[in-house]
A and B are shown apart, each in its own frame.
Chain A
Amino acid sequence: MAVNTSYAGRVYPPGEVYQVSAEKIREFAESTANTHPAHTDPSAARALGYPDVVAPPTFAVVIAQRAEGVYVQDPDAGIDFSRVVHADERFTHHRPIVAGDRLTPTLTVDAVTERGPLAMVTTRVELTDDDGAPVASVVSTLAVRGEDA
């Protein structure tokens, strides 16, 4: 089944609140060889002016990929994960993510375009805190190979 281009522009209702924990930040930092002590040592983070440990620059992907599930796993969207390649990714941080944050993801399908045998699917997840203030934006593009590619 081909990728469904009619999903372009779709905005989903806000997803579940994600509670950022120090342990998840540690696990993510260690798995990506992000060795700065502010990821794991609260006193190092506080010395930089943060209330608790700071997430690495790509940590928001944990929340964004979870939020994207409602779209990419929707059978009607036509995204066959055995044919998907990650094409690009971008994080824009309005402020750093720290342990204790409660972040709400809102997913938008920015674009679904066909480019020869490939379909390019671009999603955007905006993360906001409990006050509704923007924290980070995660834009991701998947390339989906067609049946003949």
Chain B
Amino acid sequence: MSASPAPRLGGLAVGDVVAQRTLEVDRARLVRYAGASGDFNPIHWNERFATQVGLPGVIAHGMWTMGAAVGVVTDWTGDPGAVVDYQTRFARPVPVPDPGVATAEVTATVGALDPEAGTARIDLTVVVEGQRVLAKAQAVVRLPA
């Protein structure tokens, strides 16, 4: 567990950066996610298939990126069950090289506070090679007052 105390709603202001993390993803990670999620679409593991359908190569599951990005939020809140709503649009594909890794920079910022509901909206930016790959990535978390 993180040594920092659990965040409270009253201690937050819109615009606060609450967490940052660098994520790395390689082909082996995508195979593991395919198995874990049951999403075996070959564009996420088969170079030949991916290029045949017009992609630059194998791309990460959008759901991998979405699922990995929110880890910064659950570690920050200290309670994975605090996330009551989480949404995103998939703005750009994330090509995953072979050999090598794709690197994503995740930043979590307070986007809105709702003291009546006891929730904060945490906005996530996920940047790969200088471009945002998720759009409107928002996690609503329930926090103590």
Mutual binders A and B: yes
**Chain A residues near B (Cβ < 8 Å):** 24, 27-28, 30-39, 44, 48, 50, 54-58, 61-62, 65-66, 81-83, 85-93, 95-96
A28 CA / B35 CA spacing, docked (Å): 9
CB-CB nearest in chain B for A57: B83
Q: Mark B41-81, 1 if CB is under 8 A from A, else 0.
A: 10000000000110000000111101110110111001111
With A58-B70, A85-B90, A90-B87 known as contacts, the answer to whether A65 contacts B39 (CB < 8 A) is: yes
* Number of B interface residues in the complex (CB < 8 A): 39
With A58-B63, A61-B63, A83-B53 known as contacts, the answer to whether A31 contacts B29 (CB < 8 A) is: yes
With A57-B74, A86-B63 known as contacts, the answer to whether A91 contacts B86 (CB < 8 A) is: yes
A93 CA / B29 CA spacing, docked (Å): 26
> A54 to B80, Cβ gap below 8 A?
yes
> A88 to B36, Cβ gap below 8 A?
no
Q: Say whether B127 faces chain A, with CB atoms less than 8 Å apart.
A: no
> A44 to B1, Cβ gap below 8 A?
yes
> A32 to B67, Cβ gap below 8 A?
yes
Q: Which of B35, B83, B88 contacts A88 (CB 8 A)?
A: B88
Q: Which of B114-134 contact A (CB under 8 A)?
A: none
> B81 to A96, Cβ gap below 8 A?
yes
